[in-house]
Structure 1
Amino acid sequence: MEHSKHAVRSRGSAPSAPGKLRTESFAGDGRSGSGPALDKQAVLLLAVQGLIAIATALSGTFLPIYLWKASQSLALIGWFHSTLYTVSGLTFWIAGKWVKEHNKMNSLRLGIVLSGVFYFVILLLGTRAVTYAIPLGVLGGLGQGFFWLAYNVVYFEITEPANRDRFNGWTGLIASGAGIVVPWISGFIITASTGNQGYSIIYTASAIIFGIATILSFWLKKREAAGRYEWLYGFRQLKTPGDPWRRVALAIVAQGIRDGVFMFLVGLLVFMATRNEQKLGSFSLITSLLALISFWLIGRLLRPHLRSRAMLFGAAAVTAAILPLFWPQRYETLLIFGIGTALFMPLFIIPMTSVVFDLIGRNEESVKRREEFVVLRETSLTIGRLVGIAAYLLVLPQANSAPQAIPWLMLIIGAFPLACWFLVRGYVNRSPAGRKEPV
């Protein structure tokens, strides 16, 4: 996930009309936890994102397990996610023109609908879904691309520097909250049902929740389109010596390298160690509860001038949390890893997300090109994820003869948050003053 809105509106002032530029000061009081409150549109966007998080936690947590049980192939899981990431990245780039010049809310709704269709198709296919893993990756990638492109642009427009950490904290809190109960319920349903009936139930429920999210999204205001989309604008910034995007884009690639593998491999490892979906649900419950508490505290207490130190400490801590995976991989050792990641990942991810969108809002010209910069961000993430998946697929054949191959892979790619901090450390604490942004 990924978002932003830059510049501080005076407390108590009314928002500008949609699409208009406003002049704001980012000086603030430096207290991210006590900045301007989130307005009704921001709360509504959080509600939509919360429903997506619930639907994803309900079925997405167990999708790799479902595919692996039907295929007994870890490589298939890698190719499925590789397809999903590739199509998602291409959708971001191609749909950027639609979002900038036409109706971004329709892109958001289309993404939600396609995500619902994705789970409905899996429900219809049953165990035959493994035969269509690549086409399913295409469908899932389209849904993610359309939704997250529009979501990130809208997020940028309805938040601002003083409350962006607050919004990001709420986003993490909601996602963690969904992860506390929902996967546990899914695991209980699956283990209590015969055959694949439990999977059919959770895929049906996910499709329904995506439908509810689509309906709720119609209460989000239509946001005025402005400007012409330049296909390569964001990428041209990478050619400019001294442009901060050169380092920040590389940091986003580094972030994607870890995300691309960890997003599906951790759950697989837990299931392969326990052979029990209920255990995976319990793993998610414990780690998500701790992540919720951590996101809540950090979202309230983290101040812009502390971002760099918090990010470095968080990156180092989540890297160290991987070390228990070199012990015999039992549920207990995986849980130690999960707890460490849950507690310290917010220290890394909240500053990392905020600094990217603060950079998008650094001046009026950059704000006008927010769609192009969101596309650059997602393209960078996609490249990183594909690099991570490629490393996973290369190491996989060695896993049978060298049991430590997977832990070493996870340690190497899991250390990339340290590279992220190194690349953005000069920008993460900056609070540029005087900028214009749309509401």
Structure 2
Amino acid sequence: MKNKVLLAISKITNYHHLNRSAQLIILLHFFFCFAEGISSIFVSIYIWEIQHNLFDIASFYLYQSITFFLCVPIVGKLLKHQSSTFSIGIGALLLAIFYLLLLQNHSAHYIALMGLLQGSGYIFYWTGFHYLSVSLTKTSERSLFNSYNEISGALSSLISPAIAGGFIVLMPGKIGYIYIFSTSLLLYLTTTILSIFTKIPPSSTKHFALPLILKISLNPNKKWFWGMQMIFIHGFCEGIFLFLPSVIYFLYFHNEWNLGLLTSMLACLALLSNFLVGRFLPNANRNHAIFWGVFIHSLLTLSFAIYPTWITVLLFGLGISLAKPWYNVPQLTIVFDFIHQQPAKKEHYIEYLAAREISLGLGRMVSFVLLIALITQFHKAEESLSWYALILTFGLPYFWITALKFSRNQKKIFL
């Protein structure tokens, strides 16, 4: 009976279509996402509780983005000589160290150091993970693999933020934060240990030719030029779902329990949306999905930017949960398909992924510099965030345009 149930679930979810290595990487990624789900949304709030300064939070994310430029050459060369799971393990270990230091007194006063450390952990983890996404999956299963990665994030956010928020509110002082950050520390260490036992062969070529790929990125006649434009705009707009949600939810709903509960509720919708994308979205309709995902997300974010109330904050959260998967999963798949589609590119997988991280980091840097400028211009945090959301909203349509130019069906517009 048990085997029949598992077989039925496998057929419904298409999980059996993924190869064994891809399934193991998704399991490893789940532990990473679980560690993120418990603590990541509360890092900004922890800094806010100590500093009561939006400028410091924006600076933290700016320093985090700077590490994309500092660490990408190191990570790229590492991936050329070591297994990609080694890079994943280093990333998880750096994030464990980040939370260990965050538990220390006065850690929130060292914004630059903490931002650089967390950013380094992310760049090591995600570059290694994306390399596995390209090298372990075929074109026919890549959308499914990417959707399961997003599902891992949504599953980890179903319960953990609400429980973590409850701990913070119920425990006196900062004891609740100590508990949840310690739990994330242990989960990141678990991810590091799992990566040791996940054996993936290193790259077959040892020469790291990043300058060559960056040169191609600057040529408007090359398809990759539009890919880098799309990735840059994605990084620029990432403030909508990387920075804004936790801060906005906290400012409008006033405590960590409400923040965690709302995050968990919205994760249910994100889980459903990611499942539908992975299960039912055909490759031919990717541009169609990106258009409608961007349109709905822009509309709901615009409602908050123009008229910020607790109702429009909820609509803003719905936009992230329901609409984001419909453009995020396809754009990832389009990029990975491009890198994978020609045998000549195989020796440059890592360079293309490194260039992707640089473009993403540059977009984030511009975005957070803009936010810092708005914070210095306006006195109220809510006003700064509303203007920030408004500007980022107008970046999303250009994201769709660049995705359309970059995708294979450049001459066909899906509406």
TM-score when scaled to structure 2? 0.91
1:95 pairs with 2:71? no
Match of 1:339 in 2: 318
Q: Letter of the aligned partner of 2:161 in structure 1?
A: P
Match of 1:18 in 2: none
Q: Report the 3-state secondary structure (helix = DSSP H, G, I; strand = E; otherwise coil) of the residue aligned with 1:214.
A: helix
Say which of 114, 120, 130 aligns to 2:100: 120
CA apart distance, 1:429: 4.7
Distance 1:243 1:55 in 2: 39
Distance 2:120 2:220 in 1: 34
Distance 2:381 2:115 in 1: 30
Say which of 131, 155, 163 aligns to 1:153: 131
**Contact 1:105-1:223 at 8 Å conserved across structures:** no
**Contact 1:120-1:204 at 8 Å conserved across structures:** yes
**Contact 1:78-1:389 at 8 Å conserved across structures:** yes
CA apart distance, 1:34: 6.2
Superposed CA offset, 1:363-407 (max 9, x none): 112121000000010000000000100110111123327964432
Match of 1:16 in 2: none
Distance 1:164 1:153 in 2: 12
The worse-fitting range, judged by mean Cα deviation, of 243-252 and 408-417 is 408-417
Q: Report the 3-state secondary structure (helix = DSSP H, G, I; strand = E; otherwise coil) of the residue aligned with 1:222.
A: coil
Q: Which of the pair is proportionally richer in helix?
A: 2
What are the ranges of 5 or more consecutive residues in structure 2 without an aligned counterpart? 1-12, 411-415
CA apart distance, 1:408: 2.9
CA apart distance, 1:283: 1.3
Superposed CA offset, 1:177-234 (max 9, x none): 1112111011011011000000000011001111111122223223133211113122
Match of 1:215 in 2: 193
**Contact 1:327-1:333 at 8 Å conserved across structures:** no
Distance 2:283 2:317 in 1: 27
The worse-fitting range, judged by mean Cα deviation, of 44-53 and 376-385 is 44-53
**Contact 1:48-1:213 at 8 Å conserved across structures:** yes
Match of 2:276 in 1: 297
Superposed CA offset, 1:218-255 (max 9, x none): 23223133211113122011244521111110110000
Match of 2:41 in 1: 61
- For this pair of structures, how many residues does the alignment match? 397
1:365–1:349: structure 2 CA closer, same or farther, 3 Å change rule?
A: same
CA apart distance, 1:35: 9.8
Match of 1:107 in 2: 87
Say which of 175, 186, 189 aligns to 2:153: 175
Distance 2:269 2:185 in 1: 28
Superposed CA offset, 1:263-315 (max 9, x none): 12221111112221011011101211101000001110000111111111111
1:351 pairs with 2:330? yes
CA apart distance, 1:326: 4.0
Q: Letter of the aligned partner of 2:303 in structure 1?
A: P
What are the ranges of 5 or more consecutive residues in structure 1 without an aligned counterpart? 1-32, 432-439
Distance 1:269 1:341 in 2: 13
Distance 2:16 2:170 in 1: 47
1:189 pairs with 2:167? yes
**Contact 1:166-1:299 at 8 Å conserved across structures:** yes
Identity %: 25
**Contact 1:305-1:429 at 8 Å conserved across structures:** no
Match of 2:387 in 1: 408
Higher RCO, 1 or 2 (CA under 8 Å, sep at least 6)? Answer: 1
- Counterpart mapping for 1:75-86 below 5 A: 75-86=55-66
1:93–1:415: structure 2 CA closer, same or farther, 3 Å change rule?
A: farther
The worse-fitting range, judged by mean Cα deviation, of 202-211 and 405-414 is 405-414
CA apart distance, 1:44: 1.1
Distance 2:190 2:407 in 1: 37
Distance 1:379 1:53 in 2: 23
Match of 2:25 in 1: 45
1:365–1:36: structure 2 CA closer, same or farther, 3 Å change rule?
A: farther
Match of 1:417 in 2: 396
The worse-fitting range, judged by mean Cα deviation, of 329-338 and 268-277 is 329-338
Match of 2:295 in 1: 316
Match of 1:426 in 2: 405
Distance 1:306 1:261 in 2: 25
Q: Report the 3-state secondary structure (helix = DSSP H, G, I; strand = E; otherwise coil) of the residue aligned with 2:243.
A: helix
Distance 2:47 2:147 in 1: 32
